[in-house]
Structure 1
Amino acid sequence: MKKIVQSICLFVFAFTIQAQEQAVPVFKNGEAQIVTAFKNPENWIRHDLWVETTFDSDGDGKLDRMHVDVTRPAQTENGLKLPIVYESSPYYSGVASGGRELFWNVKHELGEKVPEPTRSNVKRTGKRPIISNSQIKTWVPRGYIVVHSSSPGTGLSDGAPTVGGDNESLAPKAVIDWLNGRAKGFSEREGNKEVTAFWSTGKVGMTGTSYNGTIPLAAATTGVNGLEAIIPVAPNTSYYHYYRSNGLVRSPGGYLGEDIDVLYDFIHSGKEENRARNNKVVRDTEIANGMDRLSGDYNDFWAGRDYLNDMKPMKAALLMSHGFNDWNVMPEHSYRIYKKASEMGLPTQIYYHQNGHGGPPPVKMMNRWFTRYLHGIENNVENDAKAWIVRENDKRSEPTPYKEYPNPDAKEITFYLKGGAPRIGHLSTEKLEIKETETLIDNYSFSAASLAQADYTNHRLLYTTPILKEDLHISGTSVITIKAASSKEAVNLSVYLVSLPWSKGRRAKITDNIITKGWADLQNYKSLTKSKPLKKGKFYEMTFKLQPDDQIIKKGQQIGLMIFSSDSEYTLLPKPGTELTVDLTGTKITIPIVGGQDAFKKAIN
């Protein structure tokens, strides 16, 4: 009996091994399917290693090594090679904690120098060998290997964080090179025992959200062979656009007073012994000399941290994802890269939802993308609709397909202003012939929401269309030309498009009130690279874009253009009292409306 049991056990064991050896990815309707043999986490192989880069960003005389972890099906030990889904991050090993003292003081005049914020060290968290568990449950059962890495100067990776510097592009490139046998991997941070990716096909797809979504783009701009596709979610594609807006010092939503040096401190979780040197060289020299918080101008420092400038070598297929109401990493970040990639002839798609920060495309979309470009299955995804937009009341998993974004049927309609201050004026397609000016008084004590709801206030100017009798579809980027004068040498300029009446309470949805936003420094009316103090009372004309949007404004609403000065959630907050005078004759806004003039006239008549 004992021998029979042993024979059965040996048979089961042998059958299990054989089943593992024979298990391969399975595809149906152009998508990788969950394979039972890949599904059990107990059978996954997990290990970590260090990949050697081509740079020494911490100045210790040795090439930096990046900490990497791998999660793969057991079958890869028996000759099965699979493609890789790869995510990299500066956040995996802990971030700085603290209060508002870590941020810059924003209550001061524009151009005024203020003390630097309190600096804070990061305590590293997390244990080896696991860097992250993200992506694993989704992709390993579908026949992928999942790889993570900590970015330079974070966690157990060598180097210094640079917040958009070249090493943050070259680090993931090195990992992809290792996955293709072109770079060295080691079992220990300081050791010499090499590790190879014998289980890799060399086909890599990257994804991630926010900073983790920036890194796939950073890697793609190196043109590294093997990076076949990227799916960035709400990526920061330009640190200037994240911390500045048309020459204005502007904070990302929810982080008033944050700047690029604050983010550096926030993520710097690497070697304690290297921190003083990194702070001196990177934060206190390169960043401090380049960020120019006094003027907010665009310069070489910011240009070097704008991935749009580095896209020429890029050849990875791009599926971009973002939320139209993301006021942290704003929707312009994704659109500018999508537009350029399309112009370059790269395979591109864009997925927009109506919510805030984060939000990847549906798994089905990502699956088709990775199946096509990592497994090489001809599923015709490159001929799918270019744009997928989640309509206002739909689920994120049910986007509506469109030929392109912006909607090809959208036409720019120019609107002009007719005064009504301190009450509400009019927004009309008929140009005002009589010269008219209106003045507002800056006061950051009043939020944008309160200003939009006020029937009577001298702290904003508000102009509305007639009440819509039918729904109106806006798709694209609104552009404002404003002619204004200030009672001071510098003034904040904030512009919102709003949908009125304002919805309040629990029933209000994120799409109910704000259509889009924009900010600018009137001192940069000629150039983003050179601001010039304003002459008090002199009128200057400036044109700038608001954030891209795609939204259906419901019948019964009015579209409102609100002009004000300091924005309590985003800008510096100077002492109240500055007067901003707008020349209505020289001010106009173009709004992209699906159906053009005919659609607008039909909606208001």
Structure 2
Amino acid sequence: MTRPRTPRCLVPAFALALAPAAVTAQTGLVIEDGQAQIVPAFADSSSWIRHELWVETEFDSDGDGRPDRVHADVTRPAQTDDEGLKAPVIYETSPYYSGVAGVDFRHFWNIRQEVGGEPRARDPFPPTIAHVPSQPRISNSHVATWVPRGFAVVHSQSPGTGQSQGCPTVGGANESLAPKAVIDWLNGRARGFTSVDGDEEVRADWATGGVGMTGTSYNGTLPLAAATTGVEGLEAIVPVAPNTSYYHYYRSNGLVRSPGGYPGEDIDVLFDFIFSGFPDVRDYCLTTVRDEMTANLDRMTGDYSDFWASRDYLNHIGGVHAATLMSHAFNDWNVMPEHSYRISMALRERGVPLQIFYHQGGHGGPPPLEVVNRWFTRYVVGVENGVEDDPGAWIVREGDDPQQPTPYPSYPHPEAESVALHPGGDGQWTGALSLEGPVDGRGAAAGSGTIIDNFSFTGDQFAAAEWSNHRLLYATPELSEDVHLSGVATVRVRVSTDAPTANLSVWLVSLPWTESDDLNDNVITRGWADPANAGAGEIASPRSGTPLEPGDFVELEFDLQPDDQVIPAGARIGLMIFSSDKSFTLHPDPGTTLNVDLDETRIELPVVGGSAALRRALRAPARPAQSTPPPDI
């Protein structure tokens, strides 16, 4: 098992024995209850030392024949100069610090495209991000939290953004090596300079060498990117809603899928969105990086490739030794929770110190400060505060204060077991979803269901409809007691189409569908897949597919997004299968027909307590079938 390395520690051994607080000699960190405390001498912001520098990297991504330099700023307590204090570092890096292009859907890909068809060429963003020539103070994030506790806070701008040299590569190697260079500088292994092209060096002789990284979304991706390099000194990371694979951000199981809220976004669109770097390298970066992205992203098949594999951090996980506190939301439909889940599971297998914080909200949301403080105090400062004995998972339960998560031994819940449910009956109304299998367990065939694709309607309209020939819906009886789902639901579908390509979308919902401003009040989890990738091996990252033969059935099995949710008594758990998802998939011409073989279709739910718990909850009186005329949907 990998053991956490102990960084250079600010708190001497004799001080750790003091109670209730541990204090260093002179002015130093104060540790109480396993956390770094605010020290009045550090909290005087007027005395803080602020400076900027450019760190020399080991890459040349703008083709000028010289190593790129990345722009960084430092904020540290005055005592790092006046008293020789050695400070640990909290570090955040980002491509956003000098502005972005803004969201203009005219420059996104047109999603009115046939699945497997030729994409319509997009009109790239014009150079709308005005370059900021000087930015001595890059950001104030984390400064007010950590400098009063005796830490230094460092920010840097990603390559090709702001005053950092190079080209943005959106998951390319230089995005990992740039923060590595900053950490190397903090440990005396890389050179820093007072200007972007000068030779006056600046050293981090005030730093302990111990670094903790954090950030949200793209800023949460980059701590993991840095950690994959195995850089010495990066002791802990707290990624919040990190994108851990650009393939999984823009594709699902071989299907071209947009991130929530940004229909038609793809990796080259994101390049345009962040490219705020030096104007003199713009043409080079466009032709050597952005145009290569456009050539390799493949919006026809949606398949995995070497291009995408190089931007999948799971493929580089072997370098990670930094203790990881992962944070995500189960209802994040932008950077979906699979991103943190897949990395967390891999780190757990490798024995890397790990905790997970999940909440029920949307994109973003860090763990409570107390949890983060204990993590950084343990691994960045080196104080033995017993964090290894803390719960492995923190879950914010439905309706709870995010600052008051419920502790669990791990995630998924250790008592969760996979339980299969089988659809049957007329899903254009609402069919049955049962443990026994076909229909009501009496041996009758479950039959089949027909879907006519139509992207004009949204998934919530389908789920709320009493009847629709554009979706199939199957539901359990009303639950007689709460059911706790924890982990990954897996769906198996046997389907045929009358066309060589089609979208396939699956939602797990809580019924009855209620009118709410928050769609997540009803959505349990979702997933999407390309039937053309059935039988293609690892469907989560398929490298090839086969066009469908009209009328021939294919079987595919894929995961829905991870979840941890308590479905309340009185609700019904519903499985909804349809084709185009207006909010996420391409929008092919309506009319493709899909037939689902219900006898060979099922969903496996991760139920805490297993089949026994679900059986107890399904002991409810059956309701009469609906008989009112169908609405026009």
TM-score, normalised to structure 2, is 0.91
8 A contact 1:21–1:75 mirrored in 2? no
Q: Which residue of 2 aligns with 1:556?
A: 570
- The aligned length equals 584
Q: Which residue of 1 aligns with 2:189?
A: 182
Runs (5+) with no aligned partner, structure 2: 1-23, 537-541, 620-633
Q: Which residue of 1 aligns with 2:499?
A: 488
Q: Which residue of 2 aligns with 1:228?
A: 235
For residue 533 of structure 2, the aligned residue among 524, 547, 560 is 524
8 A contact 1:95–1:123 mirrored in 2? no
**Matched AA of 1:594:** V
Residue 449, structure 1, aligned to residue 460, structure 2: yes
CA distance in 1, matches of 2:501, 2:335: 26
Q: How far off its partner does 1:597 sit?
A: 1.1
For residue 101 of structure 1, the aligned residue among 97, 106, 119 is 106
For residue 515 of structure 1, the aligned residue among 518, 521, 524 is 524
- CA distance 1:588–1:569, shift in 2 (3 Å): same
CA distance in 1, matches of 2:61, 2:95: 15
**Matched AA of 1:491:** A
Matched position secondary structure for 1:516: strand
8 A contact 2:460–2:519 mirrored in 1? no
CA distance in 2, matches of 1:127, 1:22: 37
Q: How far off its partner does 1:303 sit?
A: 0.6
8 A contact 1:54–1:64 mirrored in 2? yes
Greater CA drift, 116-125 or 336-345: 116-125
Q: How far off its partner does 1:465 sit?
A: 0.4
Alignment of 1:557-596 (within 5 A): 557-596=571-610
Residue 403, structure 1, aligned to residue 409, structure 2: yes
Matched position secondary structure for 1:311: helix
8 A contact 1:324–1:550 mirrored in 2? yes
Q: How far off its partner does 1:511 sit?
A: 4.4
Q: How far off its partner does 1:98 sit?
A: 5.0
Matched position secondary structure for 2:319: coil
Residue 337, structure 1, aligned to residue 351, structure 2: no
For residue 96 of structure 2, the aligned residue among 91, 103, 109 is 91
8 A contact 1:490–1:523 mirrored in 2? yes
Fraction of identical pairs, as percent: 58
**Matched AA of 1:378:** E
8 A contact 2:124–2:272 mirrored in 1? no
Matched position secondary structure for 1:483: strand
Q: Which residue of 2 aligns with 1:545?
A: 559
8 A contact 2:176–2:226 mirrored in 1? yes
Q: How far off its partner does 1:125 sit?
A: 4.6
Residue 312, structure 1, aligned to residue 325, structure 2: no
Q: Which residue of 2 aligns with 1:61?
A: 65
8 A contact 2:504–2:580 mirrored in 1? yes
Q: How far off its partner does 1:120 sit?
A: 2.5
Q: Which residue of 1 aligns with 2:164?
A: 157
CA distance in 1, matches of 2:468, 2:132: 50
8 A contact 1:93–1:126 mirrored in 2? no
**Matched AA of 2:156:** S
Q: How far off its partner does 1:97 sit?
A: 2.6
Alignment of 1:47-446 (within 5 A): 47-78=51-82, 79-97=84-102, 99-113=104-118, 114-121=120-127, 122-125=129-132, 127-285=134-292, 287-432=293-438, 433=443, 434=445, 436-446=447-457
- Summarize deviations over 1:113-135 as a string: whole Å, max 9, x none: 21223323222358521111111
Q: How far off its partner does 1:102 sit?
A: 1.4
Q: Which residue of 1 aligns with 2:11?
A: none
8 A contact 1:102–1:117 mirrored in 2? yes
Q: Which residue of 2 aligns with 1:17?
A: none
8 A contact 1:109–1:572 mirrored in 2? yes
- Summarize deviations over 1:218-265 as a string: whole Å, max 9, x none: 000000000000000000000000000000000000000000000011
For residue 602 of structure 1, the aligned residue among 616, 620, 624 is 616
8 A contact 1:248–1:492 mirrored in 2? yes
8 A contact 2:131–2:278 mirrored in 1? no
CA distance in 1, matches of 2:576, 2:428: 12
- Summarize deviations over 1:80-99 as a string: whole Å, max 9, x none: 11100000000000111352
8 A contact 1:415–1:428 mirrored in 2? yes
**Matched AA of 1:555:** A
**Matched AA of 2:43:** K
8 A contact 2:131–2:279 mirrored in 1? no
Q: How far off its partner does 1:43 sit?
A: 1.0
- CA distance 1:510–1:485, shift in 2 (3 Å): closer
**Matched AA of 1:320:** M
Matched position secondary structure for 2:491: strand
CA distance in 1, matches of 2:474, 2:519: 22
8 A contact 1:417–1:428 mirrored in 2? yes
8 A contact 1:421–1:461 mirrored in 2? yes
CA distance in 2, matches of 1:526, 1:604: 34
8 A contact 2:133–2:163 mirrored in 1? no
Q: Which residue of 1 aligns with 2:48?
A: 44
**Matched AA of 1:573:** H
CA distance in 2, matches of 1:394, 1:343: 31
- Summarize deviations over 1:278-336 as a string: whole Å, max 9, x none: 11001112x12321111000111111100001011211000000000000000000011
Q: Which residue of 1 aligns with 2:515?
A: 504
8 A contact 2:503–2:531 mirrored in 1? yes
**Matched AA of 2:525:** T
Q: How far off its partner does 1:21 sit?
A: 9.7
For residue 27 of structure 1, the aligned residue among 14, 31, 41 is 31
Matched position secondary structure for 2:591: coil
Alignment of 1:455-494 (within 5 A): 455-494=466-505
8 A contact 1:105–1:117 mirrored in 2? no
- CA distance 1:98–1:255, shift in 2 (3 Å): closer
Matched position secondary structure for 1:191: coil
Q: How far off its partner does 1:502 sit?
A: 1.5
Q: How far off its partner does 1:22 sit?
A: 3.0
